[in-house]
Each structure stands twice: as structure tokens, then as C-alpha cells.
Amino acid sequence: MSLSELIGEALAGLPPLPEQRKLHVPLAEAIDDYQAWASTPHERVYTGVEALDAAMRGTAPGQLTLITGFAHSGKTLFTTKMLLHNPNRRVALFTPDETRELILVKLTCAKHGISARRLEQWMTEGNPEGRLMMQETCDAYPTLSVVDASVSIPDMERALGEMAEAWGAPVEAVVFDYAALLDFGEDIRSKVQALKSFGKQQRVSMFVLHQASRTSGRDGQVMTMTSGEYGGEKEATHLVGIRRKKSAIQALLREARETLAKPMTSAATRDRLMDVTLPELEYDLARHEMTITVSLLKNKTPPCDLVDELDLLIDPASGRILGPLESTLPLVKPEQQPSPQAPEVPLTPAMRALRKDT
């Protein structure tokens, strides 16, 4: 056998070279791509917060929405509202830091408007009402799958394949809570880049929760484009900031009281703190005791509208986000401020049937 034949035989046994991605594409082809996006708003996933959805116009397949905030700032509450808003979507929720049981409890409480303590009490006592509520929640979200294990990108690919096989249709949206827990890379930027690439390859709407750094997100400070830790915001199509004004107000109250306690504080400063600053801060604290504040910090969807801070009222019992906090409340003393009341939740058919039986 000749040398050329030996080389040819050796090359024949090698796998084919990967196909080169075409870099030159006529600009006119973008017209069809934009037409496909504009004519399929139903394929996008929406948050359920009207102001954000109007500006973002949904997260399309292949796009990434980054939800950022400091620890205990309300990111999970916001995500729960989004899940409740999309009962008919095929959603994969990856939560390496939280169990499926806790996710189901939060969804059940928010959906039915009950407290976690009440639900736990019913389950402890064997009261069928609690189990029925949890089952109704599962039935209402038949295509929501929660993966609570630590995962890598290959693990996520396998999980989406299993879900598609079980549902008979591909996954539409992926939520990852939170970016630092992805088993990939050494820094946040590489993890977010990997998740964005995964979302584009899988053609899913990608939502990634990201915890802000302690220096830029402490005490409920205003969220900005630089509030993220070590980057990741550049990869996002949309960047949603979440914070608790309550934490920021508490920090200001501590500072004001510390100033009052200093013997060198002047009489004029004491009078201003006692007569103006402290009453206003105490009113604001009562007003924002049960709110989270959201803002749209980045939006690549033309015309790229942003959303200033929007205060959303939380039902203190169930953790459900009720809607925008009214901005016309009169300035009254905290003890005169009525506590926000959650609206009554209508009973589901199964609950009505159960109560008739009992």
C-alpha cells in the first residue's frame, strides 16, 4: 500500500472536523429574524409585573434576564410571582440551594394565600386541607419541574431532555437560583456566560438569579448596574434589580439614633433629628415593612426603556406579591398607619367541596 493510501485510510478513521460557523451573513437576513421575534410575543415569558413586562416585552427564547439583589432582598418572592404568572409554561427550575419541598410550600402559600405556619400545622396534624392545597398547586403547574441538586451544564442538558420526554414537548423557560451555585467555572462571569450560552443552544427563555456583593448590596441600597459581584450584567438582555427599602431605612434609623446618643451633637441637630428625621424615617419604615422594590436597570430590547424603582406590596402571611404600593398615602405617625391587608383568596372548587363535607 502506498504512503498516500495509508494516510487516506488513517484520516478516514478520524471523526469529521466540526463545521465552521459562518461569520458573514447578509444584513438583510436580520429582517426575517426580527419579524420572527415581533410576530411571536406568545413565545416569550413574562414576569407578571406590568411595568417590567411593558418595557421588556417578555424574555424570548435564547435571551437572558438576570435578577440581582442582596441576600434576603426578595429575589425568590419575585421569582415565585413569575412562576405563578406562567402556569401553562414548561419550566425547569434549578435550585441547588433549596429543596423541592420548600419550593412547593412557597408556591402553595402564595397561590392559596395562607401562611407557611398554618400549612405546616395542618400537615403536622394530618388535616386533609393542607395536603389538598399542595396537591392543587401541583395540579395547577403540571409542567413545572424542580431540580434541587447541584448541577453542571451537561446535567442541565440531560434534565431538559428528561422533561421534554415526560411532557411530550420541549422546555420553554429555565430558572437558575442562583448563578454562583452552577458547577462550572471559577467566577461569576464565566458561570453567567455558560448559562447564557446554554439558554441560546436550548432555545429557552433564561432567568438567572444573582446575589449582589456584600459591599454594593448591603443595607438595602439602591441597585445599580455595578451591584453585581464580579460581573455577569454584560451578558444579560435584561437586568432586574431587587431590594428591600426596609433594610435601608433601618440603617438610616440606626445612624440617626447613634448621632443622638453622641454627647457632642449640637442642640439644633438634635431638634432636627427628633422633630423631622426620626418621624419621617419611622413612617417610611412602617410603610415599607412589607414591600420589595424592583427596577429595570438594563434593557436591550429597543427602544431600551428602563423602569425606575417600583414598590410592590407583599402579603405578610403568604409571601405573595399583591401589586404596586399606593404612593398617595398621607404622612401619618407609624402607630396610625394601618397595616396592609391581603385580599381574600377565593376558594378553589376542591376546597369548597372539602368544606361542604366537613
Ordered per-residue pLDDT tens for the chain, 358 residues: 665 665 566 556 666 666 677 889 899 999 999 999 999 999 999 999 999 999 999 999 999 999 999 888 899 999 999 999 999 999 999 999 899 999 999 999 999 999 999 999 999 999 999 999 999 999 999 999 999 999 999 999 999 999 999 999 999 999 999 899 999 988 888 999 999 999 999 999 999 999 876 555 456 677 665 655 555 678 899 999 999 999 999 999 999 999 999 999 899 998 999 999 999 999 999 999 999 999 999 999 999 999 999 999 999 889 999 989 874 344 344 344 444 443 444 545 554 554 444 4
118 with 233, same domain?
yes
Domain contains 7 = no
166 with 275, same domain?
no
- Per-residue cell: 311: 414598590
SS3 53: helix
Phi-psi region of 246 (alpha: psi -120 to 50; beta: other; left: phi over 0): alpha
pTM for the structure as a whole: 0.82
Domain contains 30 = no
| DSSP3 helix / strand / coil % (the chain, rounded to 5) | 45, 15, 35
62 with 89, same domain?
yes
306 with 182, same domain?
yes
Helical H segments across the chain, by residue range: 3-12, 29-38, 50-56, 75-85, 100-112, 116-125, 128-140, 153-167, 188-202, 214-217, 245-261, 267-272, 278-287, 349-357
Domain contains 66 = yes
Note the Cα 207 to chain centre separation in Å: 7
Domain contains 177 = yes
Domain contains 32 = no
Question: H or E stretch including 313?
Answer: strand 307-314
Cβ atoms 147, 93 nearer than 8 A: yes
155 with 57, same domain?
yes
CA 225 – CA 235 distance, rounded (Å)? 12
Cβ atoms 173, 144 nearer than 8 A: no
Domain contains 24 = no
83 with 108, same domain?
yes
320 with 256, same domain?
no
94 with 176, same domain?
yes
Domain contains 156 = yes
- Per-residue cell: 14: 478520524
209 with 137, same domain?
yes
Name the residue range of residue 255's domain: 245-287
Phi-psi region of 336 (alpha: psi -120 to 50; beta: other; left: phi over 0): alpha
253 with 232, same domain?
no
Q: Which residues contact 22 (CB under 8 A, 6 or more apart)?
A: none
Domain contains 214 = yes
324 with 282, same domain?
no
Question: Residues 176, 181, 183, 189: what is their CA dihedral angle, to the nearest 10 degrees?
Answer: 80
Cα distances (angstroms) measured from residue 354 to each of 30, 105, 130, 164, 286: 56, 20, 11, 35, 38
Into how many domains does the chain fold? 2
